[in-house]
Amino acid sequence: MAMKKLIKNFVHHVTGLMTHSDFQIRGGKERKALEQLLPQVTLQQKHIDRFVMLTDRAELLKHMPYGGICAELGVNRGEFSKQIYATTHPAELHLVDSWASRRYHNGLRGEVETTFEEEILQGHVVVHPGLSTEMIPGFPDNFFDWVYIDTAHDYETTRDELLLLKKKIKPNGYIAGHDYLMGNWVGGHRYGVMEAVHEFCRNENWQIRYLTINLPESPSFAISAI
């Protein structure tokens, strides 16, 4: 046992490899530091007075404005875009995505444009290649009936998207979004959607209207001005 301990200590100090215990300690410290950067916001009753729990995103779409002007930020290959169009029949559906990474590449943009080829020609679907925070300012104020966010999921990006969208949403409109949960356990990613949404609701006097509870597809949210 003494020899095993000696070898383990030697490997640890000479090569810099961490033991399982060291890994847990360091990981815990890093997670704690990350948590301290996220705002811890307490909502008031007014922020949930009209709150309704729904089963999934398909049900959420039934509560979004029908025949309006909407946008999806973060499109991927357009699977949810098709659901949005089929359920809400928007006059205009604006699809915003950079399609600039290895996972979310420009070939997926081609799939989206093929899927909505007819709707694009008719002017019912408009594709906007670019980052959400760069594209949102280009839309007129009071333009959208509702917008669905499914982009980076981190606190900073979500916070910025919400603040930029505030002026772009019509009165009584909605900002909705995906991944209203703490993070991706398998991937080890801490999200910041919940914190950004709660902070926005408190600071801008908005309220949580809908949350979905289908965990396999990750919960969604929808908020509106009070």
* Domain range enclosing 174: 38-225
| Domain-embedded: residue 156 | yes
Token pair in block for residue 77: 């290959």
- CATH code of the domain containing 116: 3.40.50.150
User: CB neighbours (10 Å) of residue 102?
Assistant: 5
Number of domains within the chain: 1
Between the alpha carbon of residue 45 and those of residues 11, 194, 202, 226, the distances in Å are: 55, 17, 11, 12
Examine residue 28 and state whether it is found in any structural domain, yes or no.
Answer: no
Which of 73 and 30 is assigned the larger pLDDT?
73
Domain membership flag for residue 142: yes
Buried b (16+ CB within 10 A) or exposed e, 43-77: eeeebeeeeeebeebebbbebbbeebbbbbbbbbb
Give the mean pLDDT of 116-128: 98
Give 22's pLDDT tier (boundaries 50, 70, 90). Answer: low
How far is Cα 148 from Cα 177, in angstroms, rounded to an integer? 5
Integer Cα distance of 204 and 201 in angstroms:
5
**190 located within any domain:** yes
**Residue 71 within a domain:** yes
pLDDT at 113 over 90: yes
Which residues have a Cβ under 8 Å from the Cβ of 83 and sit 6 or more positions away? Answer: 57, 58, 61
Give the pLDDT of residue 23: 43
Q: Look at residue 11 in the predicted model and tell me its pLDDT.
A: 39
pLDDT tens-digit readout, 79-103: 999 999 999 999 999 999 999 877 7
Burial 3-39 (b: 16+ CB within 10 A, else e): eeeeeeeeeeeeeeeeeeeeeeeeeeeeeeeeeeebe
In a domain, 23, yes or no: no
Mean pLDDT is lowest, of 27-31, 33-37, 84-88, 191-195, for 27-31
Residue 7 forms part of a structural domain: no
In a domain, 25, yes or no: no
Local confidence band at 107 (pLDDT 50, 70, 90 cut-offs): confident
Rounded Cα distance, 72 and 80, in Å: 9
Backbone angles phi, psi at 6, to 5 degrees: -65, -45
